Amino acid sequence: DSGVTQTPKHLITATGQRVTLRCSPRSGDLSVYWYQQSLDQGLQFLIHYYNGEERAKGNILERFSAQQFPDLHSELNLSSLELGDSALYFCASSEWGDQETQYFGPGTRLLVL
Amino acid sequence: GNSVTQMEGPVTLSEEAFLTINCTYTATGYPSLFWYVQYPGEGLQLLLKATKADDKGSNKGFEATYRKETTSFHLEKGSVQVSDSAVYFCALSDRETGANNLFFGTGTRLTVIP
């Protein structure tokens, strides 16, 4: 158990819908990262937040957005969903003193029908 | 840019066999290198890491050495067990940008048979 929690574990929805994925980092970690794991694209970095502020963006679609709240939990919002958005979404956190070492949550499996 | 290339899988080995999974990288700066493992139905777990040239990361019998001259970070284990069956990902962190996000290889699925 990494100490990073993600909810829900599974999500099934329809095309065109909007969903919110939630992540709670390890206690004391200020950084939260979001990654997408899909069969065709592999594991890709989406976005990084540090203490409530966006730090870096990767291959994140404009239909996707994220935020980190004052209690440091983060949410990833996916809208106008398409079949190709079906994937595993991972959240990871890292501590201030060693930001390179990331601890991953169990993931949210999203299925868009 | 930054990228990681891993050997294609799947890899099937008998218990107690020697394991090597090749990993090479391209980086704009001087990256840190990682191996993560993903067991069925679970998230990624950090297996080992190395932050500078000639460093050796090790954990649970697995080892990898940071080779700057060959831009490689191959994973090895002397004697695999059935419980090592998983998908292994090589990754790098680009410290130049300060972003610290990870770039992953495509993953190598290892199956160990008794």
- The tens digit of pLDDT for each residue in A14-43 reads 999 999 999 999 999 999 999 999 988 889
B89 in A contact zone (CB under 8 Å):
yes
pLDDT at A67 over 70: yes
**Pairing mode, if any, of strands A31-38 and A42-50?**
antiparallel
Encode pLDDT of B59-83 as tens digits.
999 999 999 999 999 999 999 999 9
Is B101's CB within 8 Å of A45's CB?
yes
Residue B46 with chain A: CB contacts under 8 Å: 101-103
Is B42's CB within 8 Å of A106's CB?
yes
pLDDT at B112: 97
Encode pLDDT of B99-111 as tens digits.
678 999 999 999 9
pLDDT at A95: 87
Who among B43, B49, B89 is closest to A107 (CB)? B43
B97 in A contact zone (CB under 8 Å):
yes
Which residue in B has a C-alpha nearest to residue A88's C-alpha? B43
Whole-number Å distance between alpha carbons of A41 and A60: 12
Who among B42, B45, B107 is closest to A42 (CB)? B107
Who among B42, B102, B105 is closest to A102 (CB)? B102
Cβ-contact B80, B100 below 8 angstroms? no
B32 in A contact zone (CB under 8 Å):
yes
Q: Give percent of chain A above pLDDT 70.
A: 100
